[in-house]
Every structure is written in structure tokens, then in C-alpha cells.
Amino acid sequence: MQAVSAVVALLVGFVPAPKAAPVFTDSFGNIPGWNRHGVVVAKSLPWESTLMQDPTLVYATGGGPKFKMWYGSLTNIGYATSDDGEHWTKKTDPVVSQTLPTEGGALNQPSVVYRNGTWHMTYFGVGTDGVGRVHYAEATDPAGPWRKFGVVLDITEAWEDNWIYNSSLLYDAQERVWKMWYTAGKIASAGGEPEFICYATATNPRGPWTKSPANPLIRPMNDGGWASLGIGGPNVRKMADGTYQMVVVGWQDDYPSRGGRLTSPDGIRWNLDRSTMTLDLGVAGGVEDSMIYRQFPVNVNGADWVWYNTKNHRPGWNETINLAKWSPSVPIIDPSKWAMAQGPDIPNGASFEVRNGKAQSLGNAPAGHLQTLQGNRLVKARDYSVAAEVTPMETTPAERDNVLLARYTDRRNYYYAGIASWGNKYAIGKLVDGANTKLTGVGSDTETSAGTTYRLRLEVKGTTVSLYDNGRLVASATDSSLQPAASYVGLQTTASTGHAAFDNVSVTTP
């Protein structure tokens, strides 16, 4: 039958164009991802600060309790043990404290490896001179005492900006070499967070360590995405197949940090892009709604668990150590496809959650803030369409303002089109260098209704921007401001208190 149809088409002089394959789709069903279990370690001892940071673990090794954790608390390193990974018993006193001039400003960020009866630790120290360096210590008991050997990795390059830290220590038994991944440089606009990830090797963990000529191995993406401004917090493990896996922390140009996971064939060549994000911010108002910090993964009975420190929006600066477990099926926004982004002035944004198989904006943003899912999959074309089913839930017309985003390069540059925008039933607009401009509008927002599903499609083709509803062209505008060769899409509830559901997203190229 298909062959006959093709012959008939040729006879009449018409061959239908092949249907374009989607660049990506999302129906917001359950996906493999991190299932958050909340806070497992918080401040409880007199010596601890409100910053409980950078956990490192050894699992089912070295005898004693199954889980052993070392963690930093700004000026000391603590030790805790657990039989289940969730309930922890802390050693009352810190196991490593400030005793050297090179750690007089700060001491934290441990990384621990057990080998041949010895516990090996690298950690971060800030000297009384304000310089950050990597230090080394070792012990025969995980609870100490720890014998310090001082600085093992110091500043040698101007771009390191007197600040090298976040060390991840690994012994490669196959190659018989010690390996360390670490960060260097400081992001001035983000409070001195790390900018680059680097690499060094040694035959003895006490040193000398040789920095890789390829440094910095990983640089920020500089594309407005989740690791646009800086990349840091590495923790590396070598997998059974000989490849390497690294969990990282990325900083966006608006300051928030989120978690990602990279892979490498040799520990030197790594691929970083928006789709490698794996752990987004938590729900606004929760314990993970400001920053996701350094993660440490452990394979527990065939499944990955990850411990990480996080900052929330409670008064003051508070960090806790939280736990998440990898699940084959969990109802979450896919972090490889979307990042929650509520405007250029995060923190204090809003949230999306998967509810009833749809991505729902929760309407919990402060006044004047947008609620946005920023795309993490690059569309390598100037011309394309983004379609989605959009269901507003608000009784007030102005709060039904929901739009699709296209040619999105950063939060200050994109086209948008949708319903109840600019007081119209349908409208198209643009954000160019942060300036918001209406391009066209049709009808009144009072013509929209809560609970009605609008099957919208935003098409950008050359200088034409078009909006369709249920396959019917409802608005069109001509504009040449934004013509990137590659860009991202997005979903947005414009009203800070608006609630809406998005489903069946599809991005296609001609």
C-alpha cells in the first residue's frame, strides 16, 4: 500500500515532505534520577559552625562501621559513622583542626582514600596570607590522630588566583599512581567560588605532585547555563570498565549552584554541557532551595547514593549534608532537559514539580519574579518550533500568562509567545539585552479560561515569529533581533503567583 501511495503521489506531481524528527520531547513521566531523602547531618556539636560542608565517604572498607564520613565545618574536619548511611554518630571532637600557618584562615574539604592499612587525606587550607592550598595528612585509624605533612599542592600560575582547593584523591591500582582532581581560580562575582577543574599526579601522596600540562581540564561553559560562570567541587571515581566518572558543581551567572555528572575515558578528557546537569535546586521554601554544593557518590548494593551539602534560604547562611538515592523511576523534572530558573535575581525564586504526569509551576515566587524552566538541550538550528500543551489554573486572567520560549541564549535574550500575555489572549514578545518588548497581540486575556488546555506551538523561521494554537495560526510578527545559530527553548509562567501545567513538549527542526 505504501509503494502504491508513493506512485500515485509521483503521478500527480507531489511528494509529501518527510515529517521532521523531534530534537527532543518531554511528556514529564517518571524518569531515572535522584530521589531526595533530605537532611542526614546538621550542626549539633559546639565546635561546628552553621556550615556543614563537603562530605567524603569510605564504604564497606577498613573494618568497623559500614559507612565512614569526614566533613568540613569551615575551620575543622569532623568524622561520623553509620550502619545505614542515613543515621550518623559523630565523633565529639574534630579530627583535624588548624595548627599550621597555611590553614590559619580556613580548614575543610577533606578527601579520604584507604590503602594498605593507612588512611590518606587531602584537604583545603587557607593560610594567614589569604592563599588557598591543598594539604595532606595520614592516619592508621579513621578517627585519628592524623599526621600532617603540610602543603602538597601550591600556587604556580596566575590564573589559579591564589586559590586551589576541592581536592579529590584517588589511587589508581592499575596504573600504580596517585591522582588528584582539584579546582583553581575564583569567581569574583560569586563570592570566590571555583572557576576551573585541574588535575595532578604523584607516586606518593605526600608528594611531589605534578600538575597536568593540560590544566585547566574543565572550564565553565560561558553560555548562560547551569555551569556558565564556574565549575568545581569534583569527586572522581574509576568505574569497573576503566572509564572515569566525576560529579561536579556548576555556578550560573546568577550565582546559584547545581550538581552535574561527567564521564571520561582517561580522567583527562571530559565533556561538560547543559545536559550533564543531574541535581537541580530543590523546591522553594525547602532545605535545598538556594545552592546544591559538593556531592560524593557511593555505590551501595548496586545503586548509587550521593551525600552533598546544600544551602537554603533560612535566615543566615546555613548548610546541611543531605542524601539522595538514584532511582530507576522517580517523578521529577528531568535535569538533563530543564533547569529551574526564576529570573536574573535568584536566589528567592519559584519552583516546578511533576504532578499527575505534568510539569506544574507552583506559584511561589516573590512579586515580579518569573517562573521558568530553562532548556538544557541545545537546538543546533536557527529555525525550529517548540510545542507544548499548556493548561492555566488561575481564575484571574492576568495570572494565566503562560508562554513558550525560543532562541533562548540566556535569561536576557529570547522570543516568547503564549496566552494571556500583555493583556491579550495571544501575544508574541521578545527580551533583548534584558529589555522586554511586545511584538504583537490578539484578543483579550479574558477570552482565556482556567482548566482549558491550549496546544501551543511557537515557530521561529528567519525573521518571522509565529504562534499556533491547536494547529491554527493565531499571531505572527516580524523581527530580526535574535538570530542565533544554536539556542535553547523554555517554558514560563510569567505571573509570580500563577499556577499552570505543561505537558507533551516537542522541539522540531524543519
Distance (Å, whole) CA 504 – CA 488: 17
Q: How far apart are the first and last CA of the chain?
A: 27
pTM of the prediction? 0.92
Please identify which residue in the block is written with the cell numbers 522540531: 508
Is there a contact between 279 and 295 (Cβ–Cβ < 8 Å)?
yes
Q: What is the CA radius of gyration of the chain?
A: 25
The answer to whether the beta carbons of residues 392 and 398 sit under 8 Å apart is no
Q: Which residues contact 191 (CB under 8 A, 6 or more apart)?
A: 255
Sequential pLDDT tens for the chain (510 residues):
344 344 333 334 444 444 667 899 999 999 999 999 999 999 999 999 999 999 999 999 999 999 999 999 999 999 999 999 999 999 999 999 999 999 999 999 999 999 999 999 999 999 999 999 999 999 999 999 999 999 999 999 999 999 999 999 999 999 999 999 999 999 987 777 999 999 999 999 999 999 999 999 999 999 888 999 999 999 999 999 999 999 999 998 777 899 999 999 999 999 999 999 999 998 887 888 888 999 999 999 999 999 999 998 777 889 999 999 999 999 999 999 999 875 445 445 678 999 999 999 999 888 888 899 999 999 999 999 999 999 999 999 999 999 999 999 988 899 999 999 999 999 999 999 999 999 999 999 999 999 999 999 999 999 999 999 999 999 999 999 999 999 999 999 999 999 999 999 999 999
The confidence score (pLDDT) of residue 46 equals 98
Please, which residues bridge with residue 249 across strands? 232, 259
Q: Cell numbers of 84, please?
A: 545505614
Q: Which amino acid is it at 165?
A: Y
- Asked whether 13 and 7 are in contact (CB, 8 A), the reply is no
Phi, psi dihedrals of residue 103, rounded to the nearest 5°: -130, 20
Q: What is the pLDDT at residue 188?
A: 80
Taking the CA atoms of residue 52, residue 328, residue 168 and residue 56 in that order, the dihedral angle to the nearest 10 degrees is: 40
Cα separations in angstroms, 295 against 91, 323, 347: 22, 9, 21
Beta-strand relationship, 358-361 and 402-410: unpaired
Residue 20: the pLDDT is: 66
User: Do 321 and 71 contact (CB within 8 A), yes or no?
Assistant: yes
Collect all residues with Cβ–Cβ distance below 8 Å to 167 and sequence separation of at least 6: 109, 111, 122, 123, 124, 134, 153, 180, 181, 182
What is the predicted pLDDT for the residue at 283?
84
Look at residue 16 in the predicted model and tell me its pLDDT.
45
Handedness of CA 255, 261, 266, 267 (dihedral sign): positive
User: Residue 307 in contact with residue 326, Cβ under 8 Å?
Assistant: no
Q: With contact defined as beta carbons under 8 Å apart, do 321 and 40 qualify?
A: yes
Task: Quote the pLDDT of residue 506.
Answer: 98
